[in-house]
Amino acid sequence: MYSKINTIALFGLEGLLIRVECDTSNGLPEMSMVGFLGSEVREARDRVRTAMKNTGYSLPPKRITVNLAPADIRKEGTSFDLAIAAALLTSADLLRLGPLQEETVFLGELGLDGKLIPVSGILTMVGAAKAAGFRTCVLPADNAAEGALVEGIRVIGLESLDQLEMLSEGVLAAAPCRIRELLQEESERDTVDFSEVNGQRAMRRAAEIAAAGRHNLLFIGSPGSGKTMIARRIPTILPTLSLEEALEVSRIYSISGMLSRERPLILRRPFRSPHHTISPFALVGGGRVPRPGEISLANHGVLFLDELPEFQKSALEALRQPLEDRVVSISRVQGSFRFPADVMLVAAMNPCRCGYYPDRNRCRCTEAEVDAYLKRISRPLLDRMDLCVEAPPVGYSELTGREKNEDSASIRARVEAARERQILRFAGTGILFNARMSGRDVKKYCRITAEEERFLKAVFEQKGLSARSYHRILKVARTIADLKGSENISLEDLAEAVGYRGPEEKFWR
């Protein structure tokens, strides 16, 4: 007898409808599986058969053929087990699903004991099922909370294979959609706060500006000056994630298998800090079956690269295109995969190899060595860093600091106000932040007076700046003015922005 069960295969951040067909016919007892299967899918044959035996089903001694259609797409992953089992059972007439069979999607991996094992990528797969018009989704109980985040589709979690029979009886309750509840609970507090940072006014200020205009930020400073400490706190001053953003972030974490079972919605902005030995593929994503890299895991959050010059050159260069397009595209034979990569890049580095330049009592690096160290970072990457700020060494009084420091919430309020201004200004243009303005937009939105023009010209001649830094300075000045709540860029704003130029501008001469 022929039977057909629906399931979803994961391709990057997209789900593809797969039909599991099963036919039981007379012939030598054998079970074969076809449909361009990866090895983990082929192994499902033994898993499913044993799980069924241990659940108490005995398969008829017949020739059984299973096909995963469409057969020209390679299937990977273990989420097909449950669908295969359901197809076998219905085909052998051991299970009757009735009308449910057509309108249901089955997802999940089976253990040999018949228990259902959670799989990753549920959020994406259930979303795809809903988009394809299915009304019910059956999946492992451990994945139920995550699946239920998708509204408009009934999600039923199963503990084990024997519960399949209860499906048609309608006694299994659908998992409740907890999305509102989770959003309410958002007060889940950040574990770090800006109030813990003493002193470092220039760095704090740069972090605030960068957060407000979504500028990329580079910290230069000696070891122990608090670069990492501040970077870690930047997500706490970014505006809170919207529901849409939260779902997008959660989807990426879901396919990477990094989502918590109980709280499957990520509400905090991600902060990813990969070690500098990371490979280019781990950073931007890749692999035979492409998986999101650190830059996608940091989507809508902060990607922090500590010890920037120590990163492999190839890894850093691989970042350039995603930083520009805010999406990673990876092409494979199976097709092209796209992972979002909308990050704020924060990087930290020492001023020289020993880390103490220009303190000549500690630093013995020659100027050529200092230059060589800075040159390890390519110009195109430096060009993408809008703000660059140097960290002074921390003194004792700052460590003990009795002064009360501003906390993240009050900084965030200012950042959010500046974001509001940007949203209003750029309404309908598709630009979201000041950092995303093109040369033409800069001309349009960063108007300066004749006096300021003269000032900027003088600075340019004196410092020998490039056209690119001209735009960068104006963009940063725009954000500084936005933080003040002013529509006009003042001379002070420009002067401050000039101070944030990167080390490529030869001011270390």
Partner 1 sequence: MEERDYQYWLAQAAGVHAGELRRLLSLYGTAQALYESRNWPAADRIKESAESGRREINALLAERDGLEKEGIRWCFLEDPAYPKRLRELPDAPPGLYYKGRLPPEDRPSVGIVGARSCSAYGRSRAEYFGGELAAQGLSVISGMARGIDGYAQAAAVQSGGSFAVLGCGVDICYPAAHQALYDQLCESGGVISELRPGTPPLAYHFPLRNRIISGLSDILLVIEAREKSGSFITVDYALEQGRDVMALPGRVGDELSSGCNRLIRQGAGILIDCADVFEALHLEFRQLEKAGLKTEELTPEQSAVWKLMGAMPKHLDRLLEESGLSLGELSLRLLELEGMGRIRQISSGQYARR
- Please report, as ranges, the residues that interact with partner 1 according to CB under 8 A: 199-202, 205, 220, 351, 357-358, 360-361, 363-368, 388-392, 458-459, 462, 480, 490-493, 495-496, 498-499, 501-503, 507-508
Is the separation of the CB atoms in 388 and 502 below 8 Å? yes
Q: How far is the CB of 392 from partner 1 (least distance, A)?
A: 4
Q: How far is the CB of 110 from partner 1 (least distance, A)?
A: 58
> Smaller CB distance to partner 1: residue 17 or 354?
354
Whole-number Å distance between alpha carbons of 462 and 50: 78
Q: How far is the CB of 415 from partner 1 (least distance, A)?
A: 16
> Smaller CB distance to partner 1: residue 13 or 374?
374
Other beta carbons less than 10 A from residue 144's beta carbon: 22
Q: Which of 481, 486, 459, 485 is nearest to 470 (CA)?
A: 459
> Smaller CB distance to partner 1: residue 249 or 363?
363
Q: How far is the CB of 360 from partner 1 (least distance, A)?
A: 4
Q: How far is the CB of 290 from partner 1 (least distance, A)?
A: 38
Q: How far is the CB of 226 from partner 1 (least distance, A)?
A: 11
- Exposed/middle/buried for 281, CB within 10 Å: 0-12, 13-18, 19+? middle
> Smaller CB distance to partner 1: residue 145 or 349?
349
Distances (CA, A) of 126 to 17, 73, 196: 11, 20, 41
User: Phi and psi at residue 48, in whole multiples of 5°?
Assistant: -65, -45
Listed in sequence order, the residues at least 6 apart from 55 whose beta carbon sits closer than 8 Å to its beta carbon are 114, 160, 161, 162
Copy the structure tokens of residue 125: 């797969």
Residue pointed to by tokens 């006096």: 451
Q: Which residues of 480-496 are buried (b: 16+ CB within 10 A; e: fewer)?
A: bbbbbeeeebbeebbbb
> Smaller CB distance to partner 1: residue 45 or 501?
501
Whole-number Å distance between alpha carbons of 217 and 402: 28
Q: How far is the CB of 391 from partner 1 (least distance, A)?
A: 7
Q: How far is the CB of 35 from partner 1 (least distance, A)?
A: 59
> Smaller CB distance to partner 1: residue 261 or 454?
454
> Smaller CB distance to partner 1: residue 26 or 361?
361
- Exposed/middle/buried for 361, CB within 10 Å: 0-12, 13-18, 19+? exposed
Other beta carbons less than 10 A from residue 441's beta carbon: 18
Residue pointed to by tokens 């400490």: 229
> Smaller CB distance to partner 1: residue 328 or 456?
456
